[in-house]
């Protein structure tokens, strides 16, 4: 009996593999798309702001303002544009989107600082993008504060606190470490669901499903045969993506690779199981596509947490996010790759993934049985 099952399995798996490899266009989508996405998002997505255009309106034009402007120019954050000092110049420059920030030195800035020991400087930010505005304002403030420190040092100010800053895990503040784990999680998630969601429904539409159903195949075996080839492709996919992250994007894998792969297998099985549920319950390929891709896309990329921190969301959405497997996998990937953590620190997330997978597989065999009757 056991050998019978094994024979059936190998026959089915072989058939699935042959069908998959024959459809070149789809195969390209399966492997090509994640690769392209890693390249594009890994290189192009970044929260970094460099060379922001800043307009300097210097009504004072003295050595002090010149020194400050030089310091601004020297930083990689800013590119200085000289202001025209026309009354409406600022407004126009902001409206045209030519500058992100403006700094205005009033008349007699330097002399007022040296003689009255007080001087005002005005920073104006285009706050239509608030995060950029805040970040740039802080950068500029710290440049000015720096200058003040220089002054203080020459005049020997007491009680000087100097912060010494270290950047952990991502010292160069690159975009890739921020986005790649998330992109990996959600791309693999969507591809897995997309692939499997049409696998069963396709057989239904072609009528071959009935042939399989009347054969003495057990549901679990049927699911395994359907899933195994996709698991293989997805793993291959994942390995390609990981290799690219490491060699192209200079991402570290600080933790155990074996652990990462093991977690990935669980995650992939989980995603395949979701796709399978979609496939079994859909009537047509189009239905399956709508359910599997359109409806999963938004939750997957919004609730995975790599674009927007889940903590900031309102409670119902936070709860909903907990149901999205890629959210847990994202945390796992981040922790293993970037922070080098072991199973003892991520066992909770792993347990959630395993739990989801088991439940989904059980649901699959149940609904497949129901369909059989």
- Site residues for another protein, 315-334, by CB under 8 A, read 317, 331, 334
Figure out which of the listed residues 297, 354, 358, 363 binds another protein, where binding follows CB under 8 A: 297
Interatomic CA distance for residues 272 and 231, integer angstroms: 8
Figure out which of the listed residues 66, 256, 281, 345 binds another protein, where binding follows CB under 8 A: 345
Contact call for residue 156 and another protein (CB under 8 A): yes
Helix (H, G, I), strand (E, B) or coil at 308: coil
Nearest one of 11, 74, 46 to 172, comparing CA atoms: 46
Among the listed ranges 173-181, 207-215, 217-225, 229-237, the one in contact with another protein (CB under 8 A) is: 173-181
Interatomic CA distance for residues 102 and 154, integer angstroms: 28
Figure out which of the listed residues 31, 209, 221, 289 binds another protein, where binding follows CB under 8 A: 289
Q: What letters, b where the CB count within 10 A reaches 16 and e where it falls short, cover 115-145?
A: eeeebebeebbbeeeeebbebbbebbeebbe
Among the listed ranges 2-10, 230-238, 285-293, 322-330, the one in contact with another protein (CB under 8 A) is: 285-293
For the chain, give the number of residues: 373
| Beta bridge mates, 82 | 56
Contact call for residue 88 and another protein (CB under 8 A): no
State which of positions 18-57 bind another protein (CB under 8 A).
25-26, 29, 33, 36-37, 40-41, 43-52
Least Å from the CB of residue 362 to another protein: 29
Interatomic CA distance for residues 351 and 314, integer angstroms: 25
Least Å from the CB of residue 282 to another protein: 13
Interatomic CA distance for residues 121 and 104, integer angstroms: 6
Least Å from the CB of residue 341 to another protein: 6
Contact call for residue 94 and another protein (CB under 8 A): yes
Among the listed ranges 55-63, 166-174, 232-240, 256-264, the one in contact with another protein (CB under 8 A) is: 166-174
Figure out which of the listed residues 78, 139, 230, 328 binds another protein, where binding follows CB under 8 A: 139
Token pair of 11 as six digits: 């026959």
Least Å from the CB of residue 163 to another protein: 5
Nearest one of 162, 160, 143 to 65, comparing CA atoms: 143
Other CB atoms within 10 A of residue 362 CB:
11
Token pair of 371 as six digits: 């369909």
Least Å from the CB of residue 153 to another protein: 9
Among the listed ranges 90-98, 247-255, 269-277, 362-370, the one in contact with another protein (CB under 8 A) is: 90-98
Least Å from the CB of residue 217 to another protein: 26
Contact call for residue 58 and another protein (CB under 8 A): no
Least Å from the CB of residue 179 to another protein: 8
Figure out which of the listed residues 1, 314, 344, 373 binds another protein, where binding follows CB under 8 A: 314
Strands 78-82 and 101-105: unpaired
Least Å from the CB of residue 253 to another protein: 14
Figure out which of the listed residues 58, 99, 177, 280 binds another protein, where binding follows CB under 8 A: 177
Least Å from the CB of residue 124 to another protein: 5
Among the listed ranges 159-167, 206-214, 221-229, 267-275, the one in contact with another protein (CB under 8 A) is: 159-167
By CB under 8 A, the count of residues binding another protein is 103
Other CB atoms within 10 A of residue 161 CB:
4
Other CB atoms within 10 A of residue 273 CB:
25
Helix (H, G, I), strand (E, B) or coil at 205: helix
Between residues 82 and 120, which has the closer beta carbon with respect to another protein? 120
| 146 Rama sector, left if φ>0, alpha if ψ -120 to 50, beta otherwise | alpha
Token pair of 282 as six digits: 């859909």
Interatomic CA distance for residues 352 and 266, integer angstroms: 11
Contact call for residue 222 and another protein (CB under 8 A): no
* 227, 269 Cβ separation under 8 angstroms: yes
Contact call for residue 302 and another protein (CB under 8 A): yes
Helix (H, G, I), strand (E, B) or coil at 80: strand
Least Å from the CB of residue 315 to another protein: 10
Contact call for residue 214 and another protein (CB under 8 A): no
Token pair of 303 as six digits: 């609730």
């Amino acid at each position: 009996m056991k050998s019978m099952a094994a024979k059936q399995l190998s026959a089915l798996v072989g058939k699935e593999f042959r069908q998959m490899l024959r459809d070149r266009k789809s195969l390209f989508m399966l492997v090509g798309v994640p690769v392209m996405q890693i390249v594009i998002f890994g290189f192009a997505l970044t929260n970094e702001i460099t060379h922001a255009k800043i307009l300097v309106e210097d009504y004072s034009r003295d050595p002090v303002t010149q020194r400050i402007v030089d310091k601004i120019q020297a930083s990689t954050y800013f590119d200085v544009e000289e202001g025209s000092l026309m009354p409406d110049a600022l407004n126009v420059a902001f409206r045209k989107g030519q500058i992100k920030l403006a700094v205005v030195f009033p008349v007699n800035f330097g002399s007022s600082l040296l003689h009255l020991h007080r001087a005002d400087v005005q920073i104006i930010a285009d706050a239509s993008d608030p995060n950029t505005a805040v970040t740039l304002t802080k950068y500029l403030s710290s440049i000015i504060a720096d200058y003040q420190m220089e002054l203080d040092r020459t005049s020997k100010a007491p009680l000087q606190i100097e912060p010494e800053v270290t950047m952990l895990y991502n010292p160069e503040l690159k975009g890739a470490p921020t986005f790649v784990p998330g992109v990996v999680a959600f791309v693999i998630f969507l591809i897995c669901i997309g692939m499997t969601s049409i696998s069963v429904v396709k057989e239904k539409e072609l009528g071959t499903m009935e042939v399989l159903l009347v054969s003495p195949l057990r549901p679990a075996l049927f699911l395994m045969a359907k899933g195994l080839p996709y698991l293989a492709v997805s793993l291959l996919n994942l390995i390609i993506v990981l290799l690219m992250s490491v060699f192209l994007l200079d991402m570290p894998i600080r933790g155990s690779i074996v652990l990462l792969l093991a977690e990935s297998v669980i995650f992939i099985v989980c995603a395949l199981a979701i796709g399978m549920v979609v496939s079994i319950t859909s009537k047509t390929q189009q239905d399956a596509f709508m359910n599997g891709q359109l409806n999963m896309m938004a939750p997957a990329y919004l609730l995975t947490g790599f674009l927007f921190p889940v903590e900031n969301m309102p409670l119902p959405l936070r709860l909903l996010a907990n149901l999205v497997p890629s959210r847990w996998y994202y945390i796992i990937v981040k922790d293993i790759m970037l922070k080098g953590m072991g199973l003892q620190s991520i066992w909770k997330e792993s347990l959630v993934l395993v739990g989801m997978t088991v439940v989904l597989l059980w649901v699959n065999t149940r609904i497949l049985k129901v369909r059989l009757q």
